[in-house]
Amino acid sequence: MRKETRTTRKPKIVISSSDFDRLSRLANNSLNTMTELAEELLGELERAKVVSDNALPKNVVRMGAAVTYESDNGQERTVILVNPGEADIAQGKVSIMTPIGTALIGLAEGQSIGWIARDGQSHRLTVKSVRPLENGEAED
């Protein structure tokens, strides 16, 4: 059986300039308290292509978007990517300052990425759909 070598290569990602600015501040402000996650987020921001807010394709994961992804175990889940203070797993709101939140940002529908959970386990997810939410709109 051949080992897949693509898993170490990260896909190209795109981030809006407003998300880039906010997330850069968040990550830099978190370097002393959440060092590993802050460094991971900064690494993702560094490799991202930054575009104006209105040039970001609608199928790209951004802050506040409802994202449906399929995990490597075949389960689908829909989450909303939020700031740390807004996170609520019961409502499907996942913080950007989590391993999965950082993995999701900037991915487009159909893209896959490997990520390491807090327990050290490797996972892979594929973005199935992205739906930007309007201000104040709740997930269905």
Q: What is the pLDDT of residues 113-130, one digit of tens each?
A: 998 887 888 989 999 999
Nearest to 78 by CA among 123, 129, 112, 19: 129
Nearest to 97 by CA among 83, 117, 78, 116: 83
Q: Residue 26: is its pLDDT beyond 60? A: yes
Dist CA 10 CA 68 (whole Å): 19
What does the domain layout of the chain look like in residue ranges?
Answer: 11-132
Nearest to 65 by CA among 127, 126, 2, 125: 127
What single-letter DSSP state applies at residue 5? S
pTM of the model: 0.85
What is the enclosing helix (H) or strand (E) of 82?
A: strand 76-82
- Say if residues 118 and 57 touch (Cβ distance below 8 Å): no
Instruction: Give helix 35-47 / helix 17-29 axis angle, nearest 10°.
Output: 150
pLDDT of residue 9: 81
List of E strands, 101-140:
112-116, 122-132
CATH class of 11-132: alpha beta
What are 74-110's pLDDT values in tens digits? 899 999 999 999 999 999 999 999 999 999 999 999 9
CA distances to 27, 36, 91 from 42, in Å? 6, 10, 27
CA distances to 9, 72, 83 from 63, in Å? 23, 23, 8
